[in-house]
Amino acid sequence: MPHRIAVLSGDGIGPEVMSVCLDVLEAALGDKSALFSFEEAAVGGVGIDKCGKALPAETLSLCESSDAILFGSVGGPKWEHLPPDKQPERGALLPLRKHFDLFANMRPVKAYPELSHSCPLREEIMQDGVDIMVLRELTGGIYFGNPSGRDGEGQNERGFDTMEYHRYEIERIAQLALETASKRKQHVTSVDKANVLSSMVFWREVVIDKARVYNEEQKIAKKMKVELNHLYVDNAAMQIILAPHNFDVLLCGNLFGDIISDEASILGGSLGMLPSASLSSHKSGEGYFGLYEPAGGSAPEIAGKSVANPIAQILSGALLLAHSFNMTETASRIENAIHEAIRSGARTNDIANKKLFTKDKEETISTIEMGQEIKLKLT
Ligand code: IPM
Ligand code: MG
């Protein structure tokens, strides 16, 4: 039985970057390509146009019978007039996260020295390098808390949401943060707002407990301890751009992780470079069931022009191989090929050095050409 991948390209730049991603994956897999079957289905605005729903029933059933989901991006001006819960983002992405219990969202941010020109931060801030894993809780918190809605009228009309976290939700994401850090630089920074919010006081207590137990087990197993510290989210937002080198794993709840991960993507030069893996509590055959998608959106303003950066999508494909199929070696080869392509000067518009345009004429290349450059660097 081949490994089944549900391919949901979605809207905007989604289909363009997805086709390049699939091409690179196939090249990287070589003979092993035969082990995989990639099946496409409609999602987001395309789902609404074709089937009347952002997440059509047949798309959901394809996902259910698959081992992993490779996702593009959804949304665009065409569907903005719809009621919020029918729009592509809330109608497809959030239900998929909830349905498959994709509780852990990993967004690895790395700075490539060759792209320092696209990072607005000063050289001395970036010189020690950046390698941060933003680990965002994805199925709880204010995104899904009850009650949520609208009521009242006139001056008393209101809109409301509930920020809530259960112990099990905090424990499982904290455990994953500790395990992830133990394979990296042994440091977890937990982000909260424990100076104001009860749910975040609880978050901090549970994270501290979990780290204590984890470190006791590490000690018995004669393994390295993981350091834990805590930052209020406002301070965290400031510290990651003042001293990005100080961070290893950033553990965040759903809303704070959404905000902090966009901010952190700037350290990597462009949102077009930031992939993400959303891992389920359910295992599939060889690894986690997961949904893999670029952290950025559908970018309707550049869609159809073949100028989008496909790297976030390709890196998402590499994360799929690593986390859902334990193919870490192939995943590293893809990551290295991307680094080599960048080192040799391949630039889509978002990561081009605009200052060189007039002087040394840095050429930008298309989405497809970037894919070809990366394939050439595969070893
Ligand atoms: C993200 C996005 C989504 C989120 C939107 C599109 C619903 O911003 O994945 O970060 O808020 O989670
Ligand atoms: Mg976001």
Residue whose CA is at the smallest distance from ligand 1 atom 9: 295
Closest ligand relative to 89 C-alpha: 1
Q: Is the pLDDT of residue 360 over 60?
A: no
Q: Is the pLDDT of residue 245 over 70?
A: yes
Please tell me if the CB atom of residue 271 comes closer than 6 angstroms to any atom of ligand 1: no
Buried b (16+ CB within 10 A) or exposed e, 242-269: eebeebbbbbbbbbbbbebbeebbbbbb
Please tell me if the CB atom of residue 54 comes closer than 6 angstroms to any atom of ligand 1: no
Does 258 participate in catalysis according to the annotation?
yes
Tell me what pLDDT residue 285 has: 66
Does 31 participate in catalysis according to the annotation?
no
Q: Is the pLDDT of residue 269 over 90?
A: no
Integer angstrom CA distances of residue 95 from 57, 58, 139, 228, 280: 12, 14, 10, 32, 13
Q: Is the pLDDT of residue 366 over 60?
A: yes
Residue in 67, 112, 143, 292 annotated catalytic: 143
Q: Which of 9-18, 60-69, 124-133 has the lowest mean pLDDT?
A: 124-133
Residue whose CA is at the smallest distance from ligand 1 atom 4: 258
pTM (2 d.p.): 0.95
* C-alpha 295 to ligand 1 mean position (Å): 8
Q: Average of pLDDT values for 284-296?
A: 88
Please tell me if the CB atom of residue 263 comes closer than 6 angstroms to any atom of ligand 1: no
Q: Is the pLDDT of residue 150 over 80?
A: yes
More confident residue, 147 or 1: 147
Banded model confidence at residue 356, pLDDT cuts 50, 70, 90 = low
Tell me what pLDDT residue 29 has: 98
Closest ligand relative to 93 C-alpha: 1
Which residue out of 258, 262, 263 has the highest number of ligand 1 atoms within 8 Å of its CB and is therefore the one to mutate?
A: 258
Burial of 77 (0-12, 13-18, 19+ CB in 10 A): exposed
Q: Average of pLDDT values for 133-147?
A: 98
Residue whose CA is at the smallest distance from ligand 1 atom 12: 258
Q: Is the pLDDT of residue 292 over 60?
A: yes
Ligand 1 atom at shortest distance from the alpha carbon of 138: 12
Query: With helix as H, strand as E and coil as C, how does the chain read?
Result: CCEEEEEEEECCCHHHHHHHHHHHHHHHHHHHHHHEEEEECCCCHHHHHHHCCCCCHHHHHHHHCCCEEEEEECCCHHHCCCCHHHCHHHHHHHHHHHHCCCCEEEEEEECCHHHHHHCCCCHHHHCCCCEEEEEEECCCHHHCCCCCEEECCHHHCEEECCCCCCHHHHHHHHHHHHHHHHCCCCEEEEEECCCCCHHHHHHHHHHHHHHHHHHHHHHHCCCCCCEEEEEEHHHHHHHHHHCHHHCCEEEECHHHHHHHHHHHHHHHCCHHHCEEEEEEEEEECCEEEEEEEECCCCCHHHCCCCCCCCHHHHHHHHHHHHHHHCCHHHHHHHHHHHHHHHHCCCCCHHHCCHHHCCCCCCCCCCHHHHHHHHHHCCC
- Non-local (6+) Cβ contacts of 143 within 8 A are 94, 254, 255
Banded model confidence at residue 310, pLDDT cuts 50, 70, 90 = very high
Please tell me if the CB atom of residue 318 comes closer than 6 angstroms to any atom of ligand 1: no
* C-alpha 113 to ligand 2 mean position (Å): 25
Residue in 67, 192, 248, 258 annotated catalytic: 258
Set out the domains of the chain in order of their start, with CATH numbers: 1-103+274-379 (3.40.718.10), 120-268 (3.40.718.10)
Banded model confidence at residue 337, pLDDT cuts 50, 70, 90 = very high
71, 40 Cβ separation under 8 angstroms: no
Q: Is the pLDDT of residue 359 over 80?
A: no
What integer best gives the mean pLDDT of the chain? 95
Residue in 49, 85, 151, 234 annotated catalytic: 234
Please tell me if the CB atom of residue 89 comes closer than 6 angstroms to any atom of ligand 1: yes
Please tell me if the CB atom of residue 93 comes closer than 6 angstroms to any atom of ligand 1: yes
Banded model confidence at residue 362, pLDDT cuts 50, 70, 90 = low
Tell me what pLDDT residue 355 has: 73
Tell me what pLDDT residue 15 has: 98
Q: Are strands 68-73 and 36-40 parallel, antiparallel or unpaired?
A: unpaired
Q: 332 has which bridge partners?
A: none
More confident residue, 375 or 362: 375
Per cent of the chain over pLDDT 90 is 89
Please tell me if the CB atom of residue 258 comes closer than 6 angstroms to any atom of ligand 1: yes
